[in-house]
Amino acid sequence: MFGRNFPFFNSIGGFYPRENLDSKRPSGTGYTSKVRVRDKYHIVGFISSGTYGRVYKAIGKDGRKGEYAIKKFKPDKEGEIIQYTGLSQSAIREMALCSELDHPNVVQLAEIILEDKCIFMVFEYTEHDLLQIIHHHTQPQRHAIPAPMIKSILFQLLNGLLYLHTNWVLHRDLKPANILVTSSGAVRIGDLGLARLFYKPLNSLYSGDKVVVTIWYRAPELLMGSRHYTPAVDLWAVGCIFAELLSLRPIFKGEEAKMDSKKTVPFQRNQMMKIIDIMGLPRKETWPGLVSMPEFSQLQSLAMSRGYLNRQCNLEGWYQSCLKNNGYSQASTAGTPGAEGFDLLSRLLEYDPTKRISAREALEHPYFTTGTPVTANCFAGYEGKYPHRRVTQDDNDIRSGSLPGTKRSGLPDDSLMGRAAKRLKE
């Protein structure tokens, strides 16, 4: 199903060389049992935690050169390994997909290890992610992200997304934290825990599944209650990421409404307001499918109560203000995303998912085919330095599960890290 030699799409001509990851990845990536993680990898420290479990930085042993990120999944009932009930659907999906996917702009899985009823996914290590890069540029005395860097990041992101969509995979959770960047400037789409296969004709992917896509990057059709996910939901998220790279803040920063006691999914009123403030009120004349959306009556009520009935799109005003405030040249030069950048952004943030630009169409857009050539290394020409990803070796921090800059899951101390931290102190 998934091609091993999928071409690295380049609308400008030629192909970008992919980094040599074959030395890290065993032939036929699969599950390895009767192998202990510590026998193959030296644990450097703890990176982050979340609802899925924990992530550690490691260095390969016995000829396995390079750095790795090891993702340890927690069982369904944390702390009850004896009564182990299995892995979540999210973990199973991620393992199944990552074992097959192979593309220079999708994170590379080295192997999966089963040890003492715990699952470890071993990935290539990436030093940065877009959230970290954006945060770096928001600090005092720092400037906006260079326009050529944004162009390279966006091109590589769309290139990886084209590969996923061509192979019938929806990511469903694209956001800056899930877009990884290597120290050599290669962009990788990461965290496929919410990814799903899709088909034509489309089947409903709802089926009681929780609503996906982090609220700030959630497409309007999902906010309107659509239960049929299409590749267009990922393209809306790319548009939000593009805008955030330009402005250094989320373009639609709404507050998520939580489920009530009856587990009914609420209308995300505040998030829809943030979108309407910039994009204007969606209308049935330009989005015919709008009237059939489950939350259409809620949208009408919102428009009446907030005075949105005559609200028009102001994305161009937002874009020009963003260029001015962040020091981008107003003229069409190498130092600005220009008019082509706005056109691409507006096509990514199209309300109607059937009209929204596809990954393939986006890669052929004049934003990429004119002006400064796209580079395979997004850091090319940039003289600044980004900080390394934080890795901690402190036992107390690990036990607390409350590290600054990480997801706070409250997970207990981990046996893998506990032994590693002890060795590091010795």
User: Which active-site residues does the annotation give?
Assistant: 173
Spatial contact of 322 and 330, defined as CB atoms under 8 Å apart: no
Q: What are the angstrom distances between the C-alpha of 362 and each of 59, 66, 206, 221? A: 37, 34, 27, 20
Rounded-to-integer distance, Cα 85 and Cα 122, Å? 22
Q: Own/partner pairs for 306-309, CB < 8 Å, 24+ apart?
A: 306/273, 306/276, 308/276, 308/281, 309/281
Report the DSSP beta bridge partners of residue 119.
73, 114
Q: Is 110 exposed, middle or buried (0-12, 13-18, 19+ CB in 10 A)?
A: buried
Joined tokens for residue 146:
């260079």
In whole angstroms, what is the distance from residue 323 CA to residue 336 CA? 8
The H-assigned helical ranges of 139-231 are: 147-166, 220-223
3-state secondary structure 121-136: EEEECCCEEHHHHHHH
Count other Cβ atoms within 10 Å, centred on residue 139: 7
Give the other-Cβ count within 10 Å of 82's Cβ: 7
Question: Residue 270's closest CA among 281, 294, 254?
Answer: 254
The amino acid present at 241, given as its one-letter code, is I
Residue 68, strand partner residues: 58, 124
- SS3 of 255, please? coil
Residues sharing a CB contact under 8 Å with residue 82, sequence separation 6 or more, in sequence order? none
* Cα dihedral value 189, 190, 191, 197, nearest 10: 40
Q: Is the N-terminal amide bond of 104 cis, ω within 30° of 0?
A: no
